[in-house]
Amino acid sequence: MKKKGITVSGSLKKDNVTMYTRCGKIIMRTSTSDMPLQRTRSQFVNRQRVAHSTNLWKALRASGNPLFAGSRTAYARFNSLMCKMPRVFMTKEEYRNYGALLLPGMPVSDGILPDIGYTWGEAGGLPALVTTVRVWRPLPTAACGTDMVRALCYPNEDWREGDGLRLYTLVQKVENMVPKVYVTMEEAWLNHGDSEWGFAELAPRRVGNQLALAGSAIDDPTRGWALVHTRGESSSSQGVLTRSTLYEQYMTEEALLRAAESYGGLTEAPFITPG
């Protein structure tokens, strides 16, 4: 049916009929299927990956607008990168209650700016996230915007006034027996000014000639951290550094079978056999 003043957004289902818009035309087709339900092992593993990625994306998106380039949408790029992450298995009820697991290396951004490296370390007697960001001048105890611009931007061409640093903090919790991930995002800008520069729980410090973010929260084994360089809608490509190991309990064969049982169990792969 050619469109004549009618706009259909998404799909409509009524009496086993589905209507949707494609390429400027309204398509109407049957919404019933005679195909038997297939839930082979490989299909189930892939569906679990998608379900887990979806819940992690919702947690990440709740903290602000994630920056992911290189695909049609930020969500599509996130899902593509999540294909490289460990496979975890949860039940239908856990996913319905937004179950998610904190994964080491989980992507929080993807872009064209130079990546930031970071690792566990110490600064001023406190545990710290020691980064590869070069510091050119000493940092005062309470660094303000002007101090950080001078320390980071000159004479380093990778950083400019107006650039930002996003700090992602991810927390693994278990609520009513369901593992969940909560994400917060803070931003600090390289602007001249008298405002203090830093984050709620982590303070900027200098270790050698590198920027470190120090605070007792770094030692919390239920947390994960990621630092992103931003410039407008561009960003560096960053993943999560965490000591959390809860996800390992959900990678086992037992976890897979438990999850599959909640969906009705696995089915045998269809094969063409003689006779």
Q: How many CB atoms lie within 10 A of CB 246?
A: 18
- Considering the chain, what percentage of its residues have pLDDT values greater than 90? 68
What pLDDT, in 10s, does the model give residues 183-215? Answer: 999 999 998 887 788 899 999 999 999 999 999
pLDDT in tens, 33-64: 444 466 899 999 999 999 999 999 999 999 99
Mean pLDDT of 84-88: 95
pLDDT of residue 133: 94
Arithmetic mean of pLDDT, 73-99: 96
Query: Would you say the pTM of this structure is higher than 0.85?
Result: no
pLDDT: which is higher, 75 or 154: 75
Q: Which of 61, 45, 112, 54 is nearest to 82 (CA)?
A: 54
116 or 36, which is more confident: 116
Confidence (pLDDT) at 14: 53
The overall average pLDDT reported for the chain is 89
Calpha distance 226→199 (Å, rounded): 13
| Tens of pLDDT, residues 242-265 | 999 999 999 999 999 999 999 999
User: What pLDDT is attached to residue 103?
Assistant: 98
